[in-house]
Chains A and B, each alone.
Chain A
Amino acid sequence: MATDGITSLVVNGATIEAVDRGKGRIILFLHPGIGIDPAAPVLAALAHGGRVIAPSHPGFGASQLPKGMTTVDDLAYFYLDMMEQLDLHDVLVVGVGLGGWIAAEIAIKDQSRLSHLVMANAIGIKVADRETRDIVDIWSLLFDEYNALAYFDPNVGKHDYKKLPAAESLAAARNREAYARFCWSPYMHSPKLKGRLHRIRIPTLMLWGTADRILSDKYGRAYCAAIPGARFEPIERAGHFPHIEQPEEFARQALAFAESNTASAARARRA
């Protein structure tokens, strides 16, 4: 595996693509349901603080989908296997949206290779009653309606797909399908996850783009409150994807958190 740029790696027989850039401590960046742009400024910003590994999840982008992989649980085990295969230690896991959900699923299963968890505008749990949606039904929305809810500046979400090269439009199509594969029903959550979050013992930061109208602030705070000792930090002028709308601030907060909580992380692992 290269130490810079885009690479591919084989985990359990499946080839996945990943951005791998920077040096130092391992930062595993887990992208949201819309996928990851390898040139995303947030990856460069995070790489100032370590070696960023940002895979496209199985089935997303150009990553293969192993047969039988249908749940976020499967994705979490996939990344546990990946970390074991690469023998990664003291990993700072950073996950946005779906990536935040995967990060939580990883942490409740096995935290032995993790140092810190940074989640942002994460989906994955059920908070409200059965007739109240926690998460807007994004597959009932027009593109423009979605952008208006997902972004502080809806123009950020606009893409001229007609001008995309074939490979990029195929990646966009695979992202859309994979997002639904893992999140269609139960819609964007696991009914079991909330009751398991107490198992997370590593320092956890919940970043929250305050202009998110796919998820509510209340949802984010409830999610955060279910994780022992987790801290909630708003990011202004950002919506559902703060890593896209405020990449520098996002990276600054994530890296500062990992820096300042090193001692408590070590204590948590010993405990």
Chain B
Amino acid sequence: MQVYQFTEQPYYPVWNDHGGSLRVILPNRKLDPKVAGDLFHRYYDEWMIADDLGYNIMVNEHHQTATCMASTVIVSLSVLARQTKKARILVLGYPIGHRPDPLRCAEELSTIDVVSRGRLDMGFIKGVPYEFPASNQNPVGVMDRFWEAHDFIIKAMTSHDENFNWEGEYFHYRQVNIWPRPVQQPHPPVWSTTGSSSQARVLGEKGYVIATLGSGYATRPLYDAYRQAYLAKWKKPAPADRFAYLGLVATAHDEAEARRRGELVAGYLRTSSIVHVPFRNPPGFQSVEDYARMLRGENPPRSFTKDGRGINMHHGSVQDLIDAGILFCGTPDQVYRQIVDFTEYCGGMGNLLMMGHAGFLTHEDTVSNLEIFAKEVMPRLKEYKQPVPAAA
């Protein structure tokens, strides 16, 4: 199993002073740029430590929010491509359906791949609902735009002999010929996230890495949908390295200390939903069928414990989050066992996207968390033999 260290690079100093929305409308005057600079340096230092400890690295972006200062993945990727030595660097993700210029995306990502000497993993994502007011991209039809941007980026990265032309529904280019071209062939690995079975099938057909975030014990049906489509297309079972899962991780030698850290890391979940209500679900973000169900008051829980109890990931206790496979928390032995249990439930999962820092967890706690996990959990996960999934 591969392990990627992830933080949202939060601006936590204002988390208790948000006036009802941490995203979109929180005035940026509340951010002190000098403090932000200190925090950025701290977060990059922690990723450098993670690189030394044998982790891979995951970065992301959000907009107009104190939950995540990274507003452009390209800055994080640029710093890490030059500063780190061994880690694979995953962007999960780049919201390409929002970006006005996929040619620029292809140039940026190819350059990152070259500078990092082939360590880039390209995660393309739809983006959360709150991104649409910031980008002003129409949420209606955004996935059509996403796939056209994807098709263009892949074509640009894999065309090496003559310029090409693009006159699509959303994007128009002439004389496309990106310099530099990527070093990984035919292009850096593609990842994506989804919470829907239909999209999981699309990813399976393409053979891309499917990642789910906080889906806990509702993950298996998504993976199985992927497996069915993968098997049909590629005539072999999907290997474990096609599956990724983002879980929060808090460990310490003392269980009570681990739980204390778990409470702080869970601050990510507790704050991520503090958003002015209309921005939570812009028109077209959900299918009309799902929105109609919501209007009728049918809102099934998204997260479940192993025994089927629905939990609210934004308000659940540390124990709830552990039971739901959203937080892996405890002594190294406990954390190892929780991750293996979850992986067995998934029928195999080869990439743990580990949120090893979040919220108010201090630098010292974060480094300790990373060190203990790297020394006492990660080696066992590298040795761990993935289950052979039953034919889906």
**A interface residues, Cβ below 8 angstroms from B:** 68, 70, 139-142, 161-162, 164, 166, 169-170, 172-174, 176-177, 179-181, 184-185
1/0 per position for B277-288, CB-CB distance to A under 8 A?
111001110001
Given contacts A140-B278, A180-B284, A181-B138, contact A162 B133 (CB under 8 A): no
Question: B residues 111-140 with Cβ under 8 Å of A?
Answer: 133, 136-140
Residue of B nearest to A186 (CB): B136
- For chain B, what secondary structure do more than half of its interface residues adopt (helix, strand, loop), or is it mixed? loop
Would A173 and B138 count as touching, CB distance under 8 A?
no
Question: B residues 261-291 with Cβ under 8 Å of A?
Answer: 276-279, 282-284, 288-289, 291
Q: Give A50 to B289 CA distance when docked, in angstroms.
A: 37
Would B289 and A177 count as touching, CB distance under 8 A?
no
Would A166 and B291 count as touching, CB distance under 8 A?
no
Would A170 and B283 count as touching, CB distance under 8 A?
no
B293 to chain A, nearest CB (A): 8
Residue of A nearest to B277 (CB): A142
Residue B141 is within 8 A (CB to CB) of chain A in the complex: yes
Residue of B nearest to A165 (CB): B296
Contact-residue size bin, chain B (C-beta under 8 Å from the other chain): 20 to 34
Would A184 and B140 count as touching, CB distance under 8 A?
yes
Would A177 and B288 count as touching, CB distance under 8 A?
yes
A161 cross-chain contacts in B, Cβ below 8 A = 295-297
A144 to chain B, nearest CB (A): 11
A180 cross-chain contacts in B, Cβ below 8 A = 138-140, 282-284
A233 to chain B, nearest CB (A): 32
Would A140 and B284 count as touching, CB distance under 8 A?
no
1/0 per position for B97-111, CB-CB distance to A under 8 A?
000000000000000
Q: Give A260 to B220 CA distance when docked, in angstroms.
A: 69
Q: What are 9 of the A-B contact pairs (CB < 8 Å)?
A: A140-B279, A161-B295, A164-B295, A166-B296, A173-B288, A177-B140, A180-B140, A180-B283, A185-B137
Residue B154 is within 8 A (CB to CB) of chain A in the complex: no
1/0 per position for B9-47, CB-CB distance to A under 8 A?
000000000000000000000000000000000000000
A145 to chain B, nearest CB (A): 8
Would A181 and B291 count as touching, CB distance under 8 A?
no
Residue B292 is within 8 A (CB to CB) of chain A in the complex: yes
A142 cross-chain contacts in B, Cβ below 8 A = 277-278
A177 cross-chain contacts in B, Cβ below 8 A = 140, 283-284, 288, 291
Q: Give A190 to B23 CA distance when docked, in angstroms.
A: 29
Q: Give A177 to B284 CA distance when docked, in angstroms.
A: 5
Would A172 and B278 count as touching, CB distance under 8 A?
no
Would A169 and B284 count as touching, CB distance under 8 A?
no
Partner of A169, one of B133, B278, B295: B295
Known: A140-B276, A181-B140; 4 extra A-B contacts, CB below 8 A, are: A139-B283, A169-B296, A180-B282, A184-B283
Given contacts A162-B296, A177-B284, contact A141 B278 (CB under 8 A): yes
Partner of B136, one of A68, A172, A185: A185
B161 to chain A, nearest CB (A): 33
A141 cross-chain contacts in B, Cβ below 8 A = 278
A18 to chain B, nearest CB (A): 20
For A170, A174, A179, the residue with the greatest tally of chain B CB atoms inside 10 Å of its CB is A170
